[in-house]
Amino acid sequence: MDKLKKVLSGQDDGDRDMLEAANQASTLSFGTRMKGFVICFILGVLSSVLGTCMLWIPGFGLTVFAVFYSVGNICALASTMFLVGPCQQLKTMWAKERALATVIMMLCLTLTLCAAFWWKNNGLALLFCVLQFLAFTWYGLSYIPFARDAVIKLCSLCV
């Protein structure tokens, strides 16, 4: 928590280089980038929640859920581009520790929409949404030091 406070207050010199590089790569001010991040992230969360609420509508609810949930994940993922810039985001997404999670996440996102629209298979759409959630969670955990190891250890204790 102290590290986060230092970074946000601008007292951490090690992370300052990364922030300066992000500033140089973007013409947006720091405040504008933070607003863009928050707005895009909130839109992503709201879209996912709205999709979950639509799940219970008879007939077309699962298709609407799959679309809103996938759009929500795309918005949440795109929100971080406001913080580090699109090029840096793509570099970190395809780093060796995240590449597999990124591929599975994108594949499940695509398959969710295919199952909802072209194949019209609600069971597959729901399965791919669950896999999409798990892949997105695993991807997100890769940014937190030792989080993946903690999850693996926790799961091994439960089994």
The residues, any chain, with a CB within 8 Å of residue 129's CB and separated by 6 or more, are: 65, 66, 69, 70, 108, 112
Q: What's the whole-model pTM score?
A: 0.73
Residue 146: which region, alpha, beta or left (left: phi > 0; alpha: psi -120 to 50)? left
- pLDDT of 10: 55
Task: Provide the percentage of residues in the chain whose pLDDT is more than 70.
Answer: 84
- 88-140: per-residue pLDDT in tens? 889 999 999 999 999 999 999 999 999 988 888 888 988 999 999 999 999 98
Q: How far, in Å, CA of 134 to CA of 52, rounded?
A: 16
> Model confidence at 159, in pLDDT bands (50, 70, 90)?
confident
- pLDDT of 30: 87
Q: How far, in Å, CA of 36 to CA of 80, rounded?
A: 9
- pLDDT of 60: 80
- 25-36: per-residue pLDDT in tens? 557 888 999 999
> Model confidence at 58, in pLDDT bands (50, 70, 90)?
confident
Going 76 to 111 to 124 to 152, the CA torsion angle's sign is: negative
Q: How far, in Å, CA of 67 to CA of 116, rounded?
A: 8
Strands (E), 2-159: none
Q: How far, in Å, CA of 101 to CA of 144, rounded?
A: 14
